[in-house]
Copies of this chain bind each other. A is one copy, B any other.
Amino acid sequence: MNTDATTGAGEARAEQDREALVLERIERVRRRPARVREDRVTLAHGAGGKATHTLVEAVFLEEFRNPLLEPLEDGAVFDGLALTTDAFVVTPLFFPGGDIGDLAVNGTVNDLAMCGARPRYLSAAFVVEEGFPVADLRRVTASMAAAARAAGVWIVTGDTKVVQRGKADGCYITTAGVGTMDRPVRLSAAAARPGDAVIVSGPIGEHGVTVMIARGELDIQADLASDTAPLNGLTERLLAACGDGRVRCLRDATRGGVATVVNEIAGASGVAVVLDEDAIPVRPAVRGACELLGLDPLYVACEGRMVAVVDGEAADAALAALRSDPLGSGAAVIGRIADDPPGLVLLRTSFGGTRIVDLLVGDPLPRIC
């Protein structure tokens, strides 16, 4: 280690120059209109990171553009209602702590909850491969029914398509959901303000790592289970505890993990998110598995955890509300919103340094939801 003060200052300057260069480069990229450079869809386009954002903006938003779609939130809010949808292609279909069925119900329930809505009615569409065991389909539907009961929603309409052997991987499920906006909230990734607190509702990364290990392709044994859970009870408590307008934004940290969520917030709000690495709850088993897999837990999907941005003065009330629910018992303030540098996420590391946390490039964990 270099302990010479003068050299240290020089290194700090060089580091600042490098950082300025990086920021400038990032700014240049950000100003460009989204454009898909690839001729063909890659797994990265489904990973929730950079490639997904580009695809969504350059293709879907470009074609479908309307004022409800444009904010690209977890769901669309109109006429006192919220509507959302998610497709589920997780492999394996069954894993410790859950399966594609409860994942599909909880995923849509959570997207509605993140809009501030009370989840009410779900639709479920199945694409099933010829030869799929009927017993597995029963197991999946039983799991969906249990998840729906737990979340207090009804599955009211559906569809089933069967494709030939080899044309789907067992079964894919798409759920959509309607919720009612019982509270006068307008949550948005664009609503974060300097001074706000960034809270996570519990330890991160459990779902992604569990599914990865459940594939059995890796010689790793770990006592892990998916965190899949309905978060509508938790959002209800949080919104009730904080009062109108003090919860700025809620996002469940699914594909791309917490890192992706906070990047979206930083970008949409034009603020900096400054995270404190030591404050981010990660269970030892998840940390260990991530080290073996070469993954950063910040990018690993949860299916029962959310990021909440709340008024800094409401942070204690928010934490207390979350912790009063078993699903939020591990809630923690993991960072703050700052005004500079806008659009970026900075992580103060355990070693006292700071690094930029960018959107995910590529897909280290395909098909975890």
A positions within 8 Å CB-CB of B: 36, 38-47, 52, 55-56, 59-60, 63-64, 66, 68-69, 75-76, 78-79, 81, 83-89, 121, 123-135, 137-138, 141-142, 144-145, 148, 154-164, 166-169, 172, 174, 176, 178, 180, 363, 366-367, 369
Q: Which of the residues B84, B154, B176 comes within 8 Å of A66, measured between beta carbons?
A: B154
CA distance A138 to B167 in the complex (A): 22
- State the copy count for this chain: 2
Q: Is the CB of B46 within 8 A of A161?
A: yes
Known: A141-B60, A167-B169. A42 touches B83 (CB 8 A): no
* A159:B41 contact, CB within 8 angstroms: no
CA of A137 to CA of B129, assembled, Å: 23
A46-B89 contact, Cβ under 8 Å, with A40-B134, A83-B178: no
On whether the beta carbons of B134 and A38 are closer than 8 Å, the reply is yes
Are B63 and A130 interface neighbours, CB within 8 A?
no
Smallest CB separation, A126 vs chain B (Å): 7
Do A141 and B178 touch across chains, with their CB atoms under 8 A apart? no
- Of the listed residues A40, A134, A142, A162, the one surrounded by the most CB atoms of chain B closer than 10 A to its CB is A162
Residues of B within 8 Å of A131, CB to CB, are 40-41
| Interface CB pairs A-B, < 8 A, 16 | A40-B132, A43-B164, A63-B142, A64-B154, A66-B155, A76-B156, A81-B81, A84-B157, A85-B124, A86-B159, A87-B161, A123-B176, A125-B174, A162-B366, A166-B166, A174-B176
